[in-house]
Amino acid sequence: MPVHDTIIRGGRIITLDGDSRVVEAMGVRDGRISAVGTEPEVMSGRGPHTTVLDVSGQTVIPGFFDAHPHMDRQGLKARGGIPLDGCRSIAEILEVVRTAVAATPKGEWIVLMPMGTPHTDYVYRPEQLAEGRFPTRHDLDPVSPDHPVFIRAPWGWWSHRPFPTVANSRALAIAGVTRHSKPPYNTQMLTDESGEPTGVFLDRNYAPLMEYTLFKCVPRFTYEDRIAGVRLGSAAYSAAGTTSGYEGHGLTPPLIDAYRQVHARGDLTVRMQIPLSVPSAAFDNRKITDLLHHWASDLRDRGSGDGLLRFEGICVDVGDATVAATIAQDYPYEQWAGHFYQSLSHERFVEIGVAAARLGIRLNCLVCYDLERVLRAYEAINEQVDITERRWVIIHVITASDDQIRRIKKLGLIATVTPGFMFMASDRFGLDKLRDEGIPIRRLLDAGVPVALSTDNVPYSMLFAMWQALSRFDGDSGTKLGPSHLTREEALRISTVTGHQLVWAENDRGPLELGRAADFVVLADDPLTCPEDSIKDIAVERTFVAGRQVFARSV
C-alpha cells in the first residue's frame, strides 16, 4: 500500500467504476487515485504527512464534465456592466442608474447588465416589472441628463425572447438613432404616439444584434475583459463542481489566447479542451482552408496542450443566414458569444469538412437547427474521408428519428445534449410540443451513441443539468415533458464520466478507481438517493482537480 498524500474518509464515495461500487474511503497520491475501498484498507496507507479529510454525512462523486460550458461567458457577466439583479421595478432600476451617475464623470457611458436576475429570471415581458412596462428614455433621462445610458439585452440563451434593450436620449443621439432608423433583422423599435423612439428595442434573435448594428458605439468588451472572464468563469465552474469541460461550440483566437494567459498565471482550475471557431460567414472557403492549414499543427489529431488546457478541432454551424451575414460585417467582434456565428450551405459545409478531415482536424457542429442537414453533410464528407473513428461531435441534439440515430451511430459520432433547454420549453425549438420526443437521451443511449450532458451556461450547474435530464421539467408550463426513462446512475454517469470520450481521456479520467486522475467533488447530499427535485440544489462542498483542492465552500 503506497503512502497517500490525501485520504478521503467518513462519507459515501460513489466510484461509478465498472461495478458501480460505493466505498468508504479513497486515497490520493501525486494527483491520482492510489486506493479505494474500506476505511481500514485505505487508512493503512496513512503517513506522517498525509492529510485526512473527513467528509462524514457527505457524498463524493467523480467531477462533473460539462460538454458545452461557455465558461468564459459566465465570468464575462461580471464585466458586462452594472448588475440589475433583483430589480423588479422601473423605480429600482432608476435608483441603480442614479447611483452610477453619481460615480461616473459626465459624458461617459453607463452600461448596465440585462434587466432581471440570473440565471433563469431575466426580464422579457413588461409585466415582470411592477409598473407593467419596460423603462423608456423618458424614465432614464431625468436621472442621467449628462450620460449616455444603455441597458444590454441578455445573451439569447439566457432568457425567453424577445430580449429588451433600453437606451436613454443621450445614447440614442450618439448612436444616431431617430424615428427614421431601420431596426435590424427580427428586431422591433418601439415608438410613442408621435412616432418617436421610446429607447426600447425588442430583439428576437438568439444572437442579439443591437450592439452589432444600431449601437456599435456602446463600449465593447476588451481583451482584458476576456482574460478576466476566463479567470472568473473558471472559479465559478469549480464552485459548481465542474472539473472538466469541452467547448464544442469553439472559441475565437483572442479567447483561446485568453485561456492560455489564465493557464500560464495558474488561475485555470477546470480542465478545458477547446476547438477553434472558424469565421465562415466573414471569409470564403478558400480563406477558411488557408486558416485550417495555419492552425493544423495545433488542432489536428488529439490536439496540443497539456492535461489542463488543450486545443483540438474546429466548430461549424448552420444557423440563421441573415444573422450570420449581419454579424460578419462587424468581424472580428464576438460580443457575448465568444465564437463566430455561422450559417453554412451544404456545399460549403462539405468542402470545409473534407479539408478539415484531410488535415486530421475533428469537426463539431450544432444540430439544434437542422439535424438532418448536418447528418447529410457528415455523410457526404465521410464518402471522401473516413471519419467513423474520429469521434466527430453533434451538439444540442433536440430530436432525432430512429433512422437518424442509426446513422449517428454508424458515423461514430458523439452527441452532446442540453437538458436545461426543457426548462424554457416554449422558447426552445418547440420542445413544449415535442414533449416525449424532445432531448432523446434514452433512445441515443439504447442505440449505443455516447451522450454527454452540457449546461450551455443556462444555468452553469451540472447538478441542474442532471436534474433536468431526469425530471424533464418545463418551467413555462410547470409540468414535465414526459418521463426520462433514465436511472439516477445513468444520469450521473452522463454528467461526469461519458464526456471524457470527447477528449480521448476515458481511460485516464472519470470513474474513481485506482490509477485514474483524482478529479472529484464532495457534495452535501447524495444525488442517487435524495428527492429528485433536490438534486439541482445540492451544495458543492469541495472540488478537486488532479488531487488539488480548487474550491472549498465557506461555512
> Residue 104: pLDDT above 90?
yes
Compute the distance between CA of residue 405 and CA of residue 3 in angstroms, rounded to an integer: 48
> Residue 281: pLDDT above 90?
yes
pLDDT tens digits, one per residue of 467-522: 999 999 999 999 999 999 999 999 999 999 999 999 999 999 999 999 999 999 99
Q: Which residues fall within 8 angstroms of residue 520, CB to CB, at 6 or more apart? A: 8, 26, 60, 61, 62, 63, 243, 512, 544
Mean pLDDT of the chain: 97
Compute the distance between CA of residue 423 and CA of residue 393 in angstroms, rounded to an integer: 24
What is the DSSP track for 299-331? HBTT-EE-SSEEEEEEEE-B--HHHHHHHHTTT
Dihedral pair phi/psi, residue 65, rounded to 5°: -115, 115
Rounded mean pLDDT, 125-145: 97
Rounded mean pLDDT, 183-200: 97
Hey, what's the cell of 211? 450592439
> Residue 251: pLDDT above 90?
yes
Domain(s) of CATH 2.30.40.10: residues in the chain: 6-57
Rounded mean pLDDT, 145-163: 96
Domain(s) of CATH 3.20.20.140: residues in the chain: 66-70+223-506+515-551
Hey, what's the cell of 301? 489529431
Beta carbons of 12 and 22 less than 8 angstroms apart: yes
pLDDT tens digits, one per residue of 414-437: 999 999 999 999 999 999 999 999
Q: For residue 157, what pLDDT band results from cuts at 50, 70 and 90?
A: very high
Compute the distance between CA of residue 466 and CA of residue 486 in angstroms, rounded to an integer: 10
Rounded mean pLDDT, 38-56: 96
Q: What is the pLDDT of residue 120?
A: 82
Q: For residue 52, what pLDDT band results from cuts at 50, 70 and 90?
A: very high
Q: For residue 555, what pLDDT band results from cuts at 50, 70 and 90?
A: low
> Residue 310: pLDDT above 90?
yes
Query: Which CATH architecture is the domain 66-70+223-506+515-551 placed in?
Result: Alpha-Beta Barrel (3.20)
> Residue 1: pLDDT above 80?
no
> Residue 303: pLDDT above 90?
yes
Q: For residue 554, what pLDDT band results from cuts at 50, 70 and 90?
A: confident
> Residue 346: pLDDT above 70?
yes
Q: What is the pLDDT of residue 2?
A: 85
CB atoms within 10 A of CB 354: 18
Is the CATH code 2.30.40.10 the one for domain 6-57?
A: yes
Rounded mean pLDDT, 20-35: 98
> Residue 98: pLDDT above 90?
yes
In the chain the first and final C-alpha atoms are separated, in Å, by: 35
